[in-house]
Amino acid sequence: MTKKTSLKDIAQTVGVSTALVSYVLNNQKENRINKLVAKKIREVANELNYRPNQIARSLKTNKTYTIGLVVADISNPFSSSLARIIEDEADKHNYTVLFGSSDEKPGKAQKLISTLLNRQVDGLLIFPSEGSEVQLAELQKQGIPFVLIDRYFPELKTNYVALDNFGAIHKAMQHLIDSGYQRIGMVTFDTSLFNLNERKRGYLEALKGNKIPFRKTWLKELKLDVSSNEITKAVDELLTGTKPVDAILFASNRLALYGLQQINRLHLRVPEQVAVVSIDQAESYNLFHTPITYIKQPLLEMGQLATKILLESIKKNNTTTQANLEGELIIKESTRPIDD
Amino acid sequence: MTKKTSLKDIAQTVGVSTALVSYVLNNQKENRINKLVAKKIREVANELNYRPNQIARSLKTNKTYTIGLVVADISNPFSSSLARIIEDEADKHNYTVLFGSSDEKPGKAQKLISTLLNRQVDGLLIFPSEGSEVQLAELQKQGIPFVLIDRYFPELKTNYVALDNFGAIHKAMQHLIDSGYQRIGMVTFDTSLFNLNERKRGYLEALKGNKIPFRKTWLKELKLDVSSNEITKAVDELLTGTKPVDAILFASNRLALYGLQQINRLHLRVPEQVAVVSIDQAESYNLFHTPITYIKQPLLEMGQLATKILLESIKKNNTTTQANLEGELIIKESTRPIDD
DNA sequence: ATTAATAATTTAATCGTTTAAACAACAGGT
DNA sequence: ACCTGTTGTTTAAACGATTAAATTATTAAT
């Protein structure tokens, strides 16, 4: 490995001090520096292929221009799509992203955050997992800038960017009801996470608002780390009883992905025998014979906004920004109105 | 922001030198240090919630325990799945991952690599893009440890881990031919990338080996950054002429994703009217009415092996490891043999 | 020619850690 | 009493950059 060139090397070859080299390469004190010397320094820097050691700079300036991204699982399309958006937005401001997956486990998240902080990230973007309130409160106490994405805790006064889950589901439900569906099932998660419960609340409120009595067999609440088999089973139960549902609302793309497979296996026609709505788009839904109605999350806006809020709060740590963004209902064939 | 505690703070409260604190917390010189003092130091470190400044440590030790991951696009499932595997493997060795997307553009890749190197990553995992040979040769010259994933350049003697593309496609083709398909089309990329051309070579060789004369209308070569419309058009051409193909081989999951949609739109039955094979699995293929035969890439092995090779070559920079892993052909309904 | 003002550059401390080398204090052996 | 060895700890330099303050060189003004 050819030794990397440092300011010192440049300084020596040119015959000046490292300070001067630093000033020149950072375009500081421009008017005070001899143009010829500056030119020479730049030339030598180029020749020696100088790359500033960001680590050394960080140590001195106490800024790493790095943000930490904590997702549940980077291989999940929702996470990776947002990761990409965040990467691009961060890059615009010359920030780089360190990431890690928490697998929805507070312990793992804790370890991850700790690792990222040891690396002196300037701030964190977190998809928080269930039960991480205490950790987050601690971060807050330590004055570390962070923004929550997708989920948040109403009892914590933190920055966050999330979907207006209640509104989105309510909108979807109203659409189903307006289209003539009456026995509407929902497959969602059993969790204490506020945002997911908002989805449930949206479902229940919509039923109530339309005077449709709720039956508890319509609501399937699955663990966050649910297996594909369990999703299959839940969908099966919704669709094969004596009084099957005539529409299903899936609370995540993973649930929809496996749920639709089961609908295929049962040879049910969509939407004639069962209408379907999913939260969160996926290009792959188009492989299904009937295009699926879904709630489009404003991913671009979520990612960009979250990143901007974080960078703002890194600059000056004062305000708290909380954003509940609207989802858009994209109506496709899977919820065609029942003609009667 | 409460000031972070440093070694100095601990040293001062205990009343010893920072050196001693460092030795204790790093479990060095254990037998030479007074047990009571050591205990006291650990206690105070705990109380003050000490977190070592990895930046300072890196500056001194010249090791960041960070690897840089350069993918084409982190939001692509292939990339993000591998990213997750790499993350886990890296974590086992206490490494953290900095990532960035190159969008298949050498310029962007260059900038990214440069940024990562400025941050003193210990090594790089790269999904190289077309035309990056010079860059990679340069990296090599500088003695920077790196491993290529998925693609490689036969003229460069670098570490790499990739699929045996020729073998995989050949296997798929043989299966199609053995199942009675004769007019086999392929949708692939028009590129100088070696591994993708190996796919084309596998296709052509299989035809030749089975004495099936190749027709150039069967082969659709699309740009790497092809739009969904162009994929649609290519599939359309393969399937709607006077002599349509009776099977299609898709060279990537993105091609398959849009290709299958067009097959849906044309209301063609799979496999009766057209058989389908895709490289690279995707859970979402299961949404298609007919399960799709595909070549399963050994992602876990690829990611783990690449990471291991990188960490090895960070430790001692000597050998070059090149691995062409076998793909597994997973046979499903989409290539059901033609009964005759 | 002297002084003052300005221009150009250097000095030196600092960030938080690591680590070789030096040092102090004491024990045991002669 | 003196040397030797061991134990426990400190000193101080180093990593590669930044930057306030000090210093020197040059020019302009009197």
pLDDT tens digits for A90-113? 999 999 999 999 999 999 999 999
Q: Within an 8 Å CB–CB cutoff, is residue B142 touching chain A? A: yes
Distance of CA B52 to the CA centre of its chain: 32
Nucleotide nearest to B57 (CA to C1'): C17
pLDDT at A49 over 80: yes
pTM to 2 decimal places: 0.94
- CA to C1' distance (Å), from B33 to D2: 28
Residue B268 touches chain A, beta carbons under 8 Å: no
Band the pLDDT of B340: cuts 50, 70, 90.
low
A1 C-beta neighbours (distance < 10 Å), count? 8
User: What residue of A is the nearest CA neighbor of B290?
Assistant: A264
Say what the pLDDT of residue B253 is.
85
CB distance from B100 to chain A under 8 Å? yes
* Cβ–Cβ under 8 Å, residues B293 and B174: no
Per CB-CB distance under 8 Å, the chain B contacts of A144 are 1
CATH entry 1.10.260 includes domain A7-52:
yes
For residue A13, give every residue at least 6 positions away whose Cβ sits within 8 Å of its Cβ, in sequence order, or none: A44, A48
Q: Does residue A282 carry a pLDDT above 80?
A: no
Tokens 């998660």 belong to: A189
Q: Which helix (H) or strand (E) holds B7?
A: helix B7-14
Q: How many CA atoms lie within 13 A of B235 on its CB side?
A: 29
Give which of B66, B56, B72 is closest to B91, Cα–Cα.
B66
- Chain A partners within 8 Å of B97 (Cβ): 98-100
Chain B residue with minimum CA distance to A65? B119
Question: Which nucleotide in the DNA or RNA is closest to residue B59, CA to C1'?
Answer: D15
CB A2 within 8 A of CB B142: yes
Tell me whether B288 touches chain A (CB under 8 Å).
yes
Length B124 CA → C18 C1' (Å): 26
Let me know if domain A165-298+329-335 sits in CATH 3.80.30.10: no
Per-residue pLDDT at A173 exceeds 90: yes
A77/B84 Cβ within 8 A: no
Topology of the domain covering B165-297+329-335: Rossmann fold (3.40.50)
Nearest CA in chain A to B144: A1
What is the tens place of the pLDDT at every residue in A58-71? 999 999 999 999 99
Return the pLDDT at A340. 59
Query: Residue A2's pLDDT band (boundaries 50, 70, 90)?
Result: low
pLDDT digits (tens, 9 = 90+) for B268-304: 999 999 999 999 877 778 888 888 999 999 999 999 9
Beta-carbon count within 10 A of B132 CB: 27
d(CA B103, CA A125): 23
| 3-class SS string, chain A | CCCCCCHHHHHHHHCCCHHHHHHHHCCCCHHHCCHHHHHHHHHHHHHCCCCCCHHHHHHHHCCCCEEEEEECCCCCHHHHHHHHHHHHHHHHCCCEEEEEECCCCHHHHHHHHHHHHHCCCCEEEECCCCCCHHHHHHHHHCCCCEEEECCCCCCCCCEEEEECHHHHHHHHHHHHHHCCCCCEEEEEECCCCHHHHHHHHHHHHHHHHCCCCCCHHHEEEECCCCCHHHHHHHHHHHHHCCCCCCEEEECCHHHHHHHHHHHHHCCCCCCCCCEEEEECCCHHHHHCCCCCEEEECCHHHHHHHHHHHHHHHHHCCCCCCEEEECCEEECCHHHCCCCC
Cα–Cα nearest to A244, from A280, A223, A269: A269
Average pLDDT, integer, range A299-305: 98
Protein CA at B42 to nucleotide C1' at C26, angstroms: 27
Domain residue ranges of chain B, discontinuous segments joined by +: 7-52, 64-163+299-325, 165-297+329-335
Torsion sign over Cα A208, A211, A215, A220: negative
Q: How far is B212 from chain A (nearest CA, A)?
A: 31
Q: At B173, is the pLDDT very low, low, confident or very high (cuts 50, 70, 90)? A: very high
Question: Could A81 and B101 be called an inter-chain contact, meaning their C-beta atoms sit closer than 8 Å?
Answer: no
Tell me the pLDDT band of A29, cut-offs 50, 70 and 90. Answer: confident
Of the candidates A52, A101, A284, the beta carbon closest to that of B284 is on A284
Confidence of residue B159 (pLDDT cuts 50, 70, 90): very high
Q: Looking at CA atoms only, how far is residue B55 from chain A in angstroms?
A: 6
Written as six digits, the tokens of B49 are 């919630």
A59 contact to strand C (CB, 7 A limit): yes
Residues for chain A: how many in total?
Answer: 340
- The answer to whether A51 and A81 have CB atoms below 8 angstroms apart is no
Q: What pLDDT sits at residue A253?
A: 85
Q: Distance from residue A148 (CA) to nucleotide D2 (C1'), in Å?
A: 71
User: Among A175-184, A190-199, A223-232, which range has the highest average pLDDT?
Assistant: A175-184
Contact B118 A54 (CB under 8 A): yes
Number of Cβ pairs closer than 8 Å across A and B?
148
Q: Which of B208, B316, B315, B332 is nearest to B270 (CA)?
A: B332
Q: How far apart (Å, rounded) are the C-alpha atoms in residues B37 and B39? A: 5
Nearest to B282 by CA among A287, A82, A229: A287
**Does A232 reach chain B within 8 Å, measured CB to CB?**
no
Which residues touch A214 (CB under 8 Å, ≥6 apart)? Answer: A204, A207, A208
Query: Looking at residues B83-100, what average pLDDT do you find?
Result: 97
B134 close to A (CB below 8 A)? no
Rounded, the Å distance between the CA of A26 and C1' of D27 is 28
Alpha-carbon span A249 to B268, nearest angstrom: 29
Asked whether the domain spanning B64-163+299-325 has the same topology as the one spanning B7-52, the reply is no
The SS3 assignment for B148 reads strand
* Residue B118 beta carbon within 7 A of nucleic strand D: no
Q: pLDDT tens for residues B24-78?
A: 999 998 888 999 999 999 999 999 999 999 999 999 999 999 999 999 999 998 9
Dump pLDDT digits (tens) for B92-133.
Answer: 999 999 999 999 999 999 999 999 999 999 999 999 999 899
| Strand D closer than 7 A to residue A7 Cβ | yes
Judge whether residue B142 has pLDDT over 70.
yes
∠ CA(B322), CA(B323), CA(B329), 5° rounding?
A: 160
For the record, the structure tokens of A298 come out as: 């404003």
Mapped onto helix, strand or coil, the DSSP state of residue B159 is strand
**CB burial class (10 A; 0-12, 13-18, 19+) of residue B138?**
middle
A28 CA – D13 C1', rounded, Å: 30
Taking only Cα atoms into account, the Rg of chain B, rounded to an integer number of angstroms, comes to: 26
Which neighbouring-strand residues pair with A293? A277
Nearest protein residue to nucleotide D6, judged by CA and C1' positions: B32
Average pLDDT, chain B: 94
| B257–A74 CB contact, under 8 Å | no
CB A61 within 8 A of CB A38: no
∠ CA B168-B169-B175, nearest 5°, is 95
Round to whole Å and give the CA distance between A89 and A301. Answer: 11
Residues 17-46 of B with CB under 7 A from strand C: 18-19, 22-23, 25-26, 28
Tell me the mean pLDDT in the region A257-276. 93
**Which chain A residues have a beta carbon less than 8 Å from that of B261?**
286-287
Q: What's the CA gap between B19 and B33, in Å, rounded?
A: 12
Residue B162 falls in which region: left (phi positive, over 0), alpha (psi -120 to 50) or beta: beta
Q: Does A192 touch chain B (CB under 8 A)?
A: no
Task: Give mean pLDDT, residues B307-312.
Answer: 97
Domain B64-163+299-325 is found in CATH 3.90.1170.50 = no
Q: Does B261 touch chain A (CB under 8 A)?
A: yes
A200 CA vs D5 C1’ separation (Å): 75
User: Does residue A254 surpass a pLDDT of 70?
Assistant: yes
d(C-alpha A321, C-alpha A305), whole Å: 10
> In this predicted structure, what is the pLDDT of residue B2?
61
Cα distance between residue B186 and residue B249, in whole Å:
5
Residue by residue, DSSP assigns B78-147 as HHHHHHHHHHHHHHHTT-EEEEEE-TT-HHHHHHHHHHHHHTT-SEEEE-PPTT-HHHHHHHHHTT--EE
Query: Strand, coil or helix: what is B67?
Result: strand
Query: Does B314 have pLDDT greater than 60?
Result: yes
Could you tell me the sign of the dihedral formed by the alpha carbons of B189, B164, B262, A239, in that order?
negative
Query: Which element (helix H / strand E) includes B163?
Result: strand B159-163
d(CA A274, CA A264): 11
pLDDT tops 60 at residue A1: no
Q: A52–B118: do the CB atoms touch at under 8 Å?
A: yes
- Of residues A196, A183, A154, the one with CA closest to residue A320: A154
Q: Which residues contact B254 (CB under 8 A, 6 or more apart)?
A: B76, B231
Which residues in A lie closer than 8 A to residue B53 (C-beta atoms)? 59, 118, 120
Residues 6+ apart with CB under 8 A from A95: A65, A66, A67, A122, A311
Q: Which residues of B touch A283 (CB under 8 A)?
A: 257
Q: Which pLDDT value is given to residue B223?
A: 92
Does residue B276 contact residue B250 with C-beta atoms inside 8 Å?
Answer: yes
Look at chain B and count its residues: 340
